[in-house]
Each structure stands twice: as structure tokens, then as C-alpha cells.
Structure 1
Amino acid sequence: MKKIALVTGASSGIGEATATRLSEAGFTVYGTSRRGAQGEKRAYEMLPLDVTSDDSVQTAVAAVISIEGRIDLLVNNAGFGVAPAGAEESSIEQAQAIFDTNFFGVVRMTRAVLPHMRSRGQGRILHIGSVLGFLPMPYGALYAASKHAIEGYSESLDHELRNWGIRSIVIEPAYTKTPFDANLLEPDAKLDVYGEVRDAVTRRVQEAMAGAEGPVVVAETVLKAALVSKPKLRYTAGGLAKRLRLLRSFAPAGLVDAGLRKDLSLV
């Protein structure tokens, strides 16, 4: 029997690559985006879903359950990036909007599928996090905070759900070359005092993105985490992410701090 996967934010980038790879591996996949199918031909069906709306989340999950009777795998991928900015360059309203999508969207989706997974005594939930969830980047405070929140949420959730045969796992990519990065949310309260450094950090990020790995690397990591019999709490995706995880885990804090500041031209 084919496993049923639901992948949010599957119209492009990591979500599209993940939904495609899962389909190739034999999953029956339902992808989502705020606009639904939009006429594109894909290897998987697209459903309309806005992760910031309780009603939209419930409707999409109910649709898959109605058609397939179950959801074996949820991939929480929907979210948006934030252009480099000082922490105080985003209003409270913008900060709330970032969390409403990047974190509370994850919570909404997870809460919607859990009753069905618990009733069957099995399931797997994968959250697309980031290396910024364990290694914060200056001029990326709010995005990093949302990814830190996912790390804590997922690990706590995993311990709660194992007795029902359900696992919660974080996938941690580094820079990934996708259209997602061409549509970053600009800060809505820019301050001149941050302008020079903000621009320098933006240039450095653009340089890194130019040589970044593609989303297929993340998709392969998702597939591995979806299929392995005894999954870990988190998986890095790609060479850079693995190196950063090792650096954060074993290098002296002062060395990591100095290296980060040097790389972003903050010294």
C-alpha cells in the first residue's frame, strides 16, 4: 500500500523538489500552496492551503483524509524568508506575521494531522528548519528565532508522540538555491543607522546563494528521514549544513563567534 504524504509550500523550491522526490519514491503525494494547482502539470496533486488560516488548514487535511483515509507523512515546508535586517527594523506586526507563517503554520498543520495519526498508531512529521535554528545569523534575528522555535517544538513533540508510533523530525538546510530566496520579505521599519552593515551582509548572503546547493539535496534528506526505521531528531541537509552543525557542536564558542562575524564583515 502506497504511503500518503502531504507537503506544504509545494509549488516551488524545496517543497516542489520534495513532493517530486517523494512521488518518485512511490508515495502518493498531495502538495499545497495558497493558490492551489494553477494549471501546472505535476507528478502530484496540488491543493489550496494557507497555513495562517485555521479553516484552510482543516479543509485541506480533511480533503486528503476523505480521499485517502489517512496521512502517513506530513512535511511542514511552507514559509518565507526575510531579507537581512537589524532586529529592530521590523515592526511588531511584521514579526508576528513572520511567526504566524513560519512557526504557527507548522503548529496548525501538526495539530490538524495528529488526531488521524494517533488513531492509526503511526505517522511521521518532518519540519523544514534551517541551520539558523541552531546557529543564529546577525541581521537575521526574526527568521532565526522562528527556526529556533521549530527546533524546540519538534523535539518536545517527538518525545510526546513516540508512544503512538509517531515521530517528529527537523530537517536543517543551509543556503539553498531556490526562487524562495528571490522574494525575501523586506523589513518594514528600516533605520539608516543599520544601512551600511545591512547592505554588506546582503551582498555576502547573495554571494553564498550564488554557489549554494539546489533543493534536491534537501529533498533527498527528507526522503531518508521519511523512510529510515529509527529516525534521529534532526538531519542536516547538504555539506555546508553538516559542517556548521559540527562546528556549532564541537568548536569553542569564541571561535564560532569570531568566524561568524568575520564571514559577514562585522569586524
Structure 2
Amino acid sequence: MTVQKTAVVTGASSGIGAATARALATEGFRVVCAARRTDRIQALAQEIGGVAVPLDVTDAASVAALAAGLDVVHVLVNNAGGAFGADPIESADPEDWRAMYDVNVLGLMRVTQALLPALRASGDGLIVNLGSTAGRWAYESGGGYTAAKHATRVVTETLRLELNGEPIRISEVAPGMVRTEEFGLVRFGGDRAAADAVYAGVAEPLVAEDIAEAVRWIAQLPAHVNIDELVIKPRAQAAVHKVHRV
């Protein structure tokens, strides 16, 4: 009898997280949809035959409650994250920077720490951390977010070193320009015009499903194959500062 494998996706209420939950469900995973917005993850879990678990990655008790209900986990997708504010360093709000570090770095650490026993128990675990091209190149008015995503990358590399020899693979998926319904709005404080301007003239930016497909592919590879890092950009984006606009 084949035992259904379990995948945990944080930040599953929208965007890349929700798309990843759907993609992993197509591979037969029992997906634990974890996020703060309970109504959204309940609807998603019902849609894909998964489980909804309320989760705030910045709250240790919330993370502990998630882990308490999971004895075995085969895949952990640390997707919860975000950018807050787009001010130059000279005028940036330290609280925005603190919030970005808390969710993108400390949140990833909290969830990973809590679920490592369950990942080990699977005998064939996989951790996929959602990074960004912002974790590789700097750009103006992005200091806080690029610092946080650089940290995400280094934490991923360190985890791979520390867990070497254990039955757990460690991957980072680092998207470039991905247009989702909320990322830009959150970053620009609800300013739709500012959010839309980022993608102005870009005929085909990436969408959430493109990134979810990459995670799905990594998850179905044989256990001896580790994708250290996967940088994904739309064809229109040659570099952070080189984007073809129509």
C-alpha cells in the first residue's frame, strides 16, 4: 500500500503559494495549506483535497502549532515572504526592514526548525525556499528587500551544508519579475498605479503558475538529485536593470 506523501506550503493563501499547493496536489501530495487568511486556505484545501492550517510565520506559537500536527513531512515549501516599502535607504522606515527580515528570514528559520524532525522522519525530505533575483543583485529603493532575500539565499546555502549526509534535499527557487495579484500592492501600500508601473510595457512577465511548475518539477526528481538553485526570469528580463518594454 502506497502512503500518500505530505507537502507543507507556507504563504499558501495567494500567489505563488496557492499555485504551488495546486501543482503539488497534481503530483499526488497531501498538501498542508498554511497561511494567516483562514478563509482562503480553507477554500484552497477543499479545492485540492488538502488540509488548511492557520499559520503566522512570525509567531513562534503559531509555528509550533503547525508542527504539532505533523509527524512526517516530505516537502516543505518556505514561500511566505514579502516586500514592504520602496524607499531609498536615506528615508527607509526601519520597521519595514524589520518586518521584511522577520517574515523572509526568521520566519523561514522558525518553520524549518519546527519541521526538521518530520522531514527527517520521511526518509526522503525536500526543503524549497522561495528566494528572488533580489537575493543576487541590488537595485535602487530595494535595500531592505534585497538584504532580506540575500539572507534567504545564504540561509539556504548554510542549511545545505549543515544537513549534508542527511536524507533531505535543499533547494532555492529565485524568481525575477513575477506578476501576482498582491505582491506589488503590498509593497507599495495599496497604490495600484505604482504596483502596475513595475510591469508597464512588459508583455509577458512570469506568473505564479510558472514558479509553481518549477517547485513541482524539483519535488518529483529522484532523491539523489538536488537542485541547489534555480533562477527564473521572463524572456523580457535580461537583468534587474535590463527589461524589454513594448
Count the aligned residue pairs: 233
Specify the alignment match of 1:237 in structure 2: 232
Q: What is the CA deviation profile of residues 65-87 of structure 1, one whole-angstrom value per residue up to 9, with x for unaligned ones?
A: 1xxx3111000011122343212
TM-score by length of 2: 0.85
Return the offset for 1:204. 5.1
Displacement after TM superposition at 1:122 (Å):
3.0
**Letter of the structure 2 residue corresponding to residue 232 of structure 1:** I
**Code of the aligned partner of 2:12:** A
Does residue 51 of structure 1 match 2:64? no
Q: Which residue of 1 aligns with 2:18?
A: 16
CA–CA distance in structure 2, aligned partners of residues 108 and 209 of structure 1: 36
Q: What residue identity is the alignment partner of 1:55?
A: A
For residues 179 and 203 of structure 1, what CA distance do their matches in structure 2 show?
Answer: 10
- Match of 1:104, SS? helix
Rg larger for: 1
| 1:215 shift after superposition | 0.7
> Do 2:170 and 2:226's aligned partners in 1 also have CA atoms closer than 8 Å?
no
Q: Which residue of 1 aligns with 2:33?
A: 31
Q: Secondary structure at the match of 2:163?
A: helix
Looking at structure 2, the residues matched to 103 and 241 of structure 1 have their Cα atoms a distance apart, in angstroms, of 29
- Cα deviation code 1:133-154 (max 9, x no counterpart): 1122211111111110011110
Distance 1:203 1:59, change over 3 A: closer
Post-superposition shift, 1:12? Answer: 0.8
Match of 2:68 in 1: 62
Which residue does 2:47 correspond to in 1? 42
**SS of equivalent to 2:83:** coil
**CA separation of 1:2/1:145 partners in 2, compared to 1, >3 Å: closer, same or farther?**
same
Counterpart of 1:149, as a letter, is A
After superposition, the CA RMSD in angstroms is 2.6
Match of 1:198 in 2: none
1:179 aligned counterpart, secondary structure: coil
- Determine the C-alpha separation between the residues in 2 that align with 1:19 and 1:49: 15
Q: Which residue of 1 aligns with 2:100?
A: 98
Structure 2 residues not aligned, in runs of 5+: none
Name whichever structure is richer in helix by fraction.
1
SS across alignment from 2:120:
helix
Match of 2:157 in 1: 155
Change (3 A) 1:12 1:210: farther
Whole-angstrom CA distance in 1 between matches of 2:147 and 2:202: 21
| Identity within the alignment, % | 32
TM-score (norm 1): 0.78
Q: Matched residues in 2 for 1:186 and 1:89: separation?
A: 15
- SS of 2:31's equivalent? strand
Structure 1 counterpart of 2:220, which letter? L
Contact 2:16 2:209 in 1 (8 A): yes
CA–CA separation in structure 2 for the residues paired with 1:33 and 1:177: 20
- Secondary structure at 2:186's aligned position in 1? coil
Per the TM alignment, residue 242 of structure 1 is displaced from its structure 2 partner at its CA by: 8.7
What one-letter code is carried by the residue in structure 2 that aligns with 1:42? E
**Which whole-Å deviations, capped at 9, do the CAs of 1:1-26 have from their partners, x for residues lacking one?**
22210000111100000000100111
Contact 1:175 1:209 in 2 (8 A): no
Q: 1:82 to 1:94 in 2, by over 3 A?
A: closer
* Residue-by-residue CA offset, 1:154-197 (whole Å, 9 max, x unaligned): 0111121131111211101111111122422348xxxxxxxxxx
Name the structure 2 match of 1:76. Answer: 78
Q: CA deviation at 1:119?
A: 4.3
The 1:225/1:9 distance shift into structure 2, 3 A limit, reads: same
- Write the distance in 2 (CA, Å) between the matches of 1:9 and 1:56: 13
* 8 Å contact from structure 2 (residues 170, 227) kept in 1: no
Residue by residue over 1:22-69, the C-alpha shift from the partner in whole angstroms, topping out at 9 and shown as x without a partner, is 001111101111122455242122210000001100101212x1xxx3
Residue of 121, 124, 127 corresponding to 1:125: 127
Query: Partner letter of residue 62 of structure 1?
Result: A
Checking the alignment, whether the CA contact within 8 Å between 2:204 and 2:236 is kept in structure 1 is no
